[in-house]
Amino acid sequence: MTEELELILSQLTQPDNAVIQQATVQLKQAFKDPAIIPALCAVMSGSQNPQIRQSAAVMLRLRVKKHWKKINPNDRESLKTVVLQAFMQETEHTVQHSLSQLCAMMVKHETPDRWPDLLQLLNQATKSSNPHDRQVGLCC
């Protein structure tokens, strides 16, 4: 599903309205599958195209905003881990910004005791001598 989803997200960026409309229909269908969360995570952290990674992060944020309680608990835990890993690896500012928005949406639903890795990352990143790490700590 990951490759299909990446293709759909890339089609959404095409300048052809017919392609965009077809991709939108496919995306709506894909969102009916419970495997959409892991697939979006895989695209967000693994796509070579920054625009596709950003789109996946935005789609995840929208999904989290409306359906957090409906998301499988295992997928929620996986999402928390993937988001933090993506933050540390991401170099594109636009994708980092989308990740920070996703993280902020997740924080609205999670208490610090249920996401201790976030606090640990923030603590370590803000104290790091590496400028990228400090930026991650401030964005997250």
pLDDT tens for 125-135 read 777 677 766 66
The CATH code for residues 2-139 is 1.25.10.10
Q: Name the DSSP class of 27.
A: H
pTM reported for the whole predicted model = 0.87
Please tell me the distance from the alpha carbon of residue 18 to that of residue 128, in angstroms, as a whole number. 48
Which of 30-39, 49-58, 86-95, 119-128 has the highest average model confidence (pLDDT)? Answer: 49-58
Q: CA distances (Å), 111 to each of 13, 32, 138, in order? A: 36, 28, 19
Paired tokens of 102: 């996703």
Could you count the other beta carbons within 10 Å of the beta carbon of residue 89? Answer: 11
Identify the pLDDT of residue 139: 62
Percent of the chain clearing pLDDT 90 (strictly above)? 66
Mean pLDDT computed over 104-117 = 87
Q: Name the DSSP class of 115.
A: -
**Helix pair angle (93-109, 131-139), 10° resolution:** 40
Q: Where are the alpha helices (DSSP H) in 12-130?
A: 17-30, 36-46, 50-67, 73-89, 93-109, 116-127
CA 2, 98, 13 angle in degrees (round to 5)?
55
Name the band, by pLDDT with cuts 50, 70 and 90, for residue 34.
confident
